[in-house]
Amino acid sequence: MVYEKTAFLNDHKEELMALAKMNAPFLFFDFDGTLTPIVATPDLAFLSEHRKKILSDIKMKMPIAIVSGRNLIDLKERVGVEGIYYVGSHGLEIETPEGELFQIPIPRLAQEEYMEVTSVLQKKISPLPGIFIENKHFCFAVHYRLADVEVEKKALELVFNSLSKTKYLSLQHGKRVVEVKPNVDWHKGSAVLWILEREDSKKKIEPLVFYFGDDATDENAFKTLDGKAVTVCVMNPLRKTNAGYFLNDVEEVYSFIASLDFL
């Protein structure tokens, strides 16, 4: 089921293009599932040269930010476009187009607990067949897309049991993945607002902000930006979302970007 307010973006393309001509667009994108299709394991995801060129061309006309759960180094290597914002680890790491790096501070007790818990989980879960682990910058992801039902159940039980004994960690769910993170009041939506505030002093015209994402981890951004941006959930089939609009797949995202390139 989809919220009644969520509309197909292409049905409103004409009016949005008219708004974009009057208000300089600012584009925010998730990476996996938005700019590149979901694949079996995260290491297989990449941008084709054609899609890199599309992003490189459009960033000459309007600012772009890639907002991902991947760590910053990995994200930059996979996107490979210079002169844009990169946001890694669900907002905890931000690099500006000029190369300035900002990291959200993690309390010492949360850091210590994170290192202790994830070290134990790594040893217990990594031998399980079909499980893929990403140990990112304060974000420990357990992917179970390739695991059978019993292995998935065992892996999730290990994660849930470990988290039940912690004070400073939280669990975040995504598409066939769970992520252990420090429990800090900061997420993708927080990072987007930080970037917009930073850019505000540079702009004479208020930007028309677009945020494209596909995962449960993007819902915080959709909710935070409600009434402040054109929020677009990339999804098929339809589901409940805080986004105002939807597109069916990655191809439709690039088709919409191409429309903006003609402004």
CA dist., res. 240 & res. 37, Å (int): 20
* Digit-coded pLDDT (tens) for 49-76: 999 999 999 999 999 999 999 999 999 9
Q: What contacts 34, CB < 8 A, 6 or more positions away?
A: 212, 213, 214, 234, 250, 253
> Among the options 30, 74, 214, 218, which is catalytic?
30
Respond yes or no: is residue 30 known to be catalytic.
yes
**Shared domain check, 86 and 155:** no
Q: Confirm whether 207 is domain-assigned.
A: yes
* Residue 39 belongs to domain spanning: 7-103+186-261
Q: Confirm whether 220 is domain-assigned.
A: yes
CA dist., res. 132 & res. 233, Å (int): 26
Q: Confirm whether 2 is domain-assigned.
A: no
Nearest to 159 by CA among 146, 171, 167: 171
Q: Confirm whether 91 is domain-assigned.
A: yes
**Shared domain check, 191 and 96:** yes
* Digit-coded pLDDT (tens) for 85-124: 999 999 999 999 999 999 999 999 999 999 999 999 999 9
**Shared domain check, 26 and 85:** yes
**Shared domain check, 234 and 157:** no
**Shared domain check, 27 and 83:** yes
**Shared domain check, 176 and 198:** no
Domain endpoint, select from 148, 182, 216: 182
Note the maximum CA span of the chain. 57
Percent of the chain with pLDDT over 70: 97
**Shared domain check, 96 and 63:** yes
Q: Confirm whether 213 is domain-assigned.
A: yes
**Shared domain check, 92 and 14:** yes
Quickly tell me which residue has 């989809």 as its tokens.
2
Full strand arrangement of the beta sheet holding 177-182: 132-136, 139-143, 177-182, 169-174
Domain endpoint, select from 150, 182, 214: 182
CA-to-CA dists, residue 113 to 21, 40, 176, 178, 218, angstroms? 49, 30, 24, 18, 26
**Shared domain check, 11 and 74:** yes
Q: Confirm whether 30 is domain-assigned.
A: yes
Domain endpoint, select from 121, 149, 182: 182
CA dist., res. 90 & res. 171, Å (int): 13
pLDDT of residue 179 exceeding 50, the answer is yes
Rounded to two decimals, the pTM is 0.93
Q: What contacts 191, CB < 8 A, 6 or more positions away?
A: 67, 87, 91, 94
CA-to-CA dists, residue 225 to 112, 118, 231, angstroms? 33, 32, 7
Nearest to 151 by CA among 127, 123, 118, 117: 127
Cβ atoms of residues 168 and 113 within 8 Å:
yes
**Shared domain check, 162 and 81:** no
* Digit-coded pLDDT (tens) for 118-159: 999 999 999 999 999 998 878 999 999 999 999 999 999 999
Q: What are phi and psi of 32, to 5 degrees?
A: -65, 125
CA dist., res. 198 & res. 192, Å (int): 10
Find the CATH number of the domain harbouring 218.
3.40.50.1000
Q: How confident is the model at residue 1 (pLDDT cuts 50, 70, 90)?
A: very low
**Shared domain check, 114 and 61:** no
CA atoms within 13 A on the CB side of 257: 28
Mean pLDDT of the chain: 93
Find the CATH number of the domain harbouring 171.
3.30.70.1020
Domains held by the chain: number: 2
**Shared domain check, 150 and 136:** yes
Nearest to 131 by CA among 139, 143, 120, 141: 143
Q: Confirm whether 98 is domain-assigned.
A: yes
Q: Confirm whether 1 is domain-assigned.
A: no
Quickly tell me which residue has 């402040």 as its tokens.
228
